[in-house]
Chain A
Amino acid sequence: MRQFTYLTPKTLDEAISLHVAHGESARYVAGGTDVLVKIKEGKFAPDYLISLKHIIGQDRPFLNQETGELYIGAFCTHGSIEQSPLVQHHYPIIHDAVKNIGSVQIRNVATIGGNLVNAVPSADGAIPLIVLDSKANIYGTKGQRSVDLQRFFLGPGQCDLEAGEILTEIVIPPPLPRTGSAYIKHGRREAMELPMLGVGVLLCLEEDMTTCAKARICLGVAAPTPFRALAAEKYLKGKTVDENNLTEAGRLAGQESKVRDSIRGVAWYRREMVGVLVKRMGLKALERAKERHK
Chain B
Amino acid sequence: MAHEISFIFNGNAMKMNIEDHWTLLHLIREELGYTGTKEGCGSGECGACTVIVDDKAVNSCLYLAAEIDGKQLTTIEGLAAADGTLHPIQKSFVEKGGIQCGFCSPGMILSAKALLDKTPNASEIDIKEAIAGNLCRCTGYVQIIDSIKAVSGYGEDEPHVVAFKTDEGERGE
Contacts and interface: CB of A to CB of B under 8 A. Distances in A.
Interface of A: 1-6, 8, 32-33, 36-37, 40, 49, 51, 53, 79, 102-106, 108-109, 190-192
A104 B130 contact: yes
Contacts of B4: none
B133 A104 contact: yes
B1 A109 contact: no
B106 interface: no
Nearest to A32: B62
Given A1-B22, A103-B44, A109-B63, 20 more contacts: A2-B21, A5-B1, A6-B21, A6-B64, A32-B64, A33-B44, A36-B64, A37-B62, A40-B42, A49-B20, A51-B67, A102-B44, A104-B114, A105-B50, A105-B57, A105-B58, A106-B44, A106-B59, A108-B57, A190-B163
A49 B67 CA distance: 13
Given A104-B57, A105-B59, A106-B59, A3 B19 contact: yes
B111 A104 contact: yes
Label chain A's interface by main secondary structure.
loop
A105 B20 contact: no
Contacts, number: 76
Contact of B133 (A32, A37, A53, A102): A102
Q: Which of A37, A103, A190 has the most CB of B within 10 A?
A: A103
A3 B21 CA distance: 5
Which 8 A-B residue pairings sit nearest by Cβ, starting from the closest? A103-B133, A191-B132, A6-B20, A108-B56, A105-B59, A5-B1, A105-B133, A3-B21
Given A5-B1, A191-B132, A33 B20 contact: no
Nearest to B18: A6
A276 B43 CA distance: 34
A33 B114 contact: no
Contact of A192 (B26, B62, B111, B133): B133
B148 to A, nearest CB: 13
Given A32-B64, A37-B43, A37-B44, A192 B57 contact: no
Contacts of B130: 104
A32 B58 CA distance: 12
